[in-house]
């Protein structure tokens, strides 16, 4: 996606903010998932554990991209709000 009038520094700041918020959401989602009681009737394999970790990471990435929290982090670090600028697909 090309954005008019946005330097790469602001875009990098936005990407870093989204990554930070994504990590925050990941930790929240992981704690929520781990709070569910586990039963040993059907043991969980290593592949299932990896899949659930990757799934939580994807959930957190998508949540961070759509969250206004990422905009607030970007703004607090001195960046401009990118979504208000004209965009070209």
Give me the pLDDT at residue 12, please. Answer: 85
Whether residue 32 is predicted with pLDDT greater than 70 in this model: the reply is yes
pLDDT digits (tens, 9 = 90+) for 36-72: 998 889 888 999 999 999 999 999 999 999 989 998 9
Determine the distance from the C-alpha atom of residue 44 to the mean position of all C-alpha atoms in its chain, rounded to a whole number.
Answer: 26
Q: How far apart are the first and last CA of the chain?
A: 6
> 60: exposed, middle or buried (C-beta count within 10 Å: 0-12, 13-18, 19+)?
buried
This prediction's pTM: 0.72
């Amino acid at each position: 996606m090309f954005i008019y009038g946005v330097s790469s520094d602001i875009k990098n700041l936005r990407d870093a903010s989204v990554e930070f918020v994504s990590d925050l959401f990941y930790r929240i989602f992981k704690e929520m998932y781990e709070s569910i009681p586990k039963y040993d009737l059907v043991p969980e394999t290593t592949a299932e554990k990896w899949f659930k970790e990757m799934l939580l990471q994807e959930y957190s990435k998508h949540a961070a991209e759509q969250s206004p929290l990422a905009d607030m982090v970007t703004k607090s670090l001195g960046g401009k709000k990118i979504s208000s600028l004209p965009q070209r697909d």
